[in-house]
Chains A and B, each alone.
Chain A
Amino acid sequence: MNEKLWTLVQELVSQPHVNASDLAFAGAELDPDLAPVFVKHMNQEAATLNDPIEWA
């Protein structure tokens, strides 16, 4: 239902490093109402994103 957002979040959490410009760039692909929420939240979470999952 919110495919684009889900795809972007999954891409970001699988990257070892995410910075503010990556987020702003990714957010530009979203609905204009969704983008600021996405950028704000993911910026707050940026420090914990650098621990990608190890798939079994």
Chain B
Amino acid sequence: MAYIREQIRNYLYHWLSHVEENSEIANLISSLLHNKGKIFNDGSKFTWAEFYYYVARLFDERDESKTSQIVCSAAVELLLVATDILDDLADQDSKGEILSSIAVPQAINLSNILWTNGLALINEQGGHHSLTVAIQQLKKAAYGQFTDLYFTIDRNNKLTEADYFAHINQKSVSLTKMVFLMQHLPKKTNAFWIQIANYIGWSGQIGNDTRDLFDDTKNDLYDKKATLPIIKAIEASQKKGDRWFLDALTSTDFSKNGLTVSKIRMYIKQTGAVNYCTILSEFYLNKAIQLIKKYQKTSMHKDACTDFIQFLGGNND
């Protein structure tokens, strides 16, 4: 597994050394690729580049396909860094890894450079089908990111768990779908792989949203984002006729009061919302792994299935 990471890294080192004569750009992109969860960071468990690679191998294990799969993996990593930059800019996460080390004008331009280069690499190595799918799904994600600005809690909150799932299907699950649909899938199996992409996307987004609530460098809580743990905590409080939580959460200046932030976080935990979301996140990942194991039984690509299951953190019992 570590060998694949090294190969993708080596390709990106090579790409960075040729991308542009301006070495500042290469240095800044390299530093972004060292952030948490990115391919140059030794502590990363899940990276989008490896995710792409292991998915691609499920459908094509030929040696001659490996180079283009590595290039497309690197391209997907670049595209996801570009979306991370825009996310942090939109959320004004000035304490986050990106904006604490890169000025806003640089961040905007780097995002643009990463988008264009990522798509160019897919065009060169993945071909017309992969490029078309990537653009389709990135468009969906972009619209989802825009609506995310307004997917927030107000004093008369009516948002439900179903609204949350509809929202993340557009905002982030479109990216896991992109990775699967960029492959040349047998037509009849599309629905099967989309279901796996849904499960992986739901698991990842619910897990991130739950962790981010307790991360001081993330603004989701202060921006009153309607994430699943918040929606469920409101539901629990309303069932008990308790107004404190919604009043505290929707008060304009709670972010300045550390004590209120701690109380809000404790309240969310005590409602069971964090437990619920953590269970759901693991459950959906398990569902994806179960489906891949089912496919593995009749697949020609058994080793690729084993690698993908291991990458997702499952075992091959």
Determine if A29 is an interface residue (Cβ-Cβ < 8 Å).
Answer: no
Contact of B279 (CB < 8 Å), options: A37, A51, A56: A37
Q: Which residues of chain B are within 8 angstroms of A9 by Cβ–Cβ distance?
A: 272, 275-276, 279
How many of chain A's residues have a CB under 8 angstroms from any CB in B? 22
Q: B6 at the A/B interface (Cβ < 8 Å)?
A: no
Is residue B33 contacting chain A, with contact meaning CB distance below 8 A? Answer: no
Bound-state Cα–Cα, A13 to B273, Å: 10
Would A34 and B283 count as touching, CB distance under 8 A? Answer: yes
- Looking at the assembled complex, report how far the CB atom of A19 sits from the nearest CB atom of chain B, in whole angstroms: 16
Question: A5 near B280 (CB under 8 angstroms)?
Answer: yes
Which residues of chain A from 2 to 56 have a CB within 8 Å of any chain B CB?
A: 2, 5-6, 9-10, 12-14, 33-34, 37-38, 41-42, 45, 48, 51-53, 55-56
Nearest-CB residue, chain A, relative to B283: A37
Say whether B211 faces chain A, with CB atoms less than 8 Å apart. no
A16 to B98, CA, bound (A): 43
Alpha-carbon distance A38/B241, docked complex (angstroms): 27
Residues A5 and B276 in contact, CB atoms below 8 Å apart: yes
Q: Mark B235-255, 1 if CB is under 8 A from A, else 0.
A: 111001111110000000000
* B243 and A1 contacting across the interface, CB-CB below 8 Å: no
Q: How many A-B residue pairs have CB under 8 A?
A: 59
Known interface pairs A5-B280, A33-B283, A33-B287; A56-B242 also in contact (CB < 8 Å): yes
Bound-complex Cα distance A24 to B292 (A) = 28
- Main secondary structure on chain B at its contact with chain A? helix
Residues in A with CB closer than 8 Å to B242 are 55-56
Considering only CB atoms, which chain A residue lies closest to B276 in the complex?
A9
Chain B residues numbered 280-316 whose CB sits less than 8 Å from any CB in chain A: 280, 282-283, 286-287, 290
| Bound-complex Cα distance A42 to B95 (A) | 33
B94 in contact (CB, < 8 A): no
List B contacts of A34 (CB < 8 A). 279, 283
With a CB–CB cut-off of 8 A, which chain A residues contact B280?
Answer: 2, 5
B272→A12 contact, CB < 8 A: yes
Is B270 interfacial (CB 8 A cutoff)? yes
Please pick, from B236, B244, B271, the residue contacting A56 in the complex, using a CB distance under 8 A: B244
Quick one: which of B215-265 are within 8 Å of A by CB?
232, 235-237, 240-245
A37 pairs with B272, CB closer than 8 A: no
Complex: chain B residue closest to A31, CB-CB: B283
Q: Does B278 contact A (CB under 8 A)?
A: yes
CA distance A53 to B283 in the complex (A): 26
B244 touches A41 (CB 8 A): no
B279 A53 Cβ-Cβ under 8 A: no
Contact status A33-B286, CB under 8 Å: yes
User: Quick one: which of B237, B278, B283, B290 contacts A55, CB cutoff 8 A?
Assistant: B237
12 more A-B residue pairs beyond the given contacts A6-B276, A56-B244, with a C-beta to C-beta distance below 8 A: A1-B162, A9-B272, A9-B279, A10-B271, A10-B272, A13-B270, A13-B275, A37-B279, A38-B279, A55-B237, A55-B242, A56-B243
Spell out B's residues near A (CB within 8 Å): 161-162, 165, 232, 235-237, 240-245, 267, 269-272, 275-276, 278-280, 282-283, 286-287, 290
29 A-B residue pairs with Cβ-Cβ distance under 8 Å, sorted by A, are: A1-B165, A2-B280, A5-B280, A6-B235, A6-B272, A6-B276, A9-B275, A9-B276, A9-B279, A12-B272, A12-B275, A13-B271, A13-B275, A33-B290, A34-B283, A37-B279, A37-B282, A37-B283, A38-B279, A41-B275, A41-B278, A41-B282, A48-B269, A51-B270, A53-B271, A55-B237, A55-B240, A55-B241, A55-B242
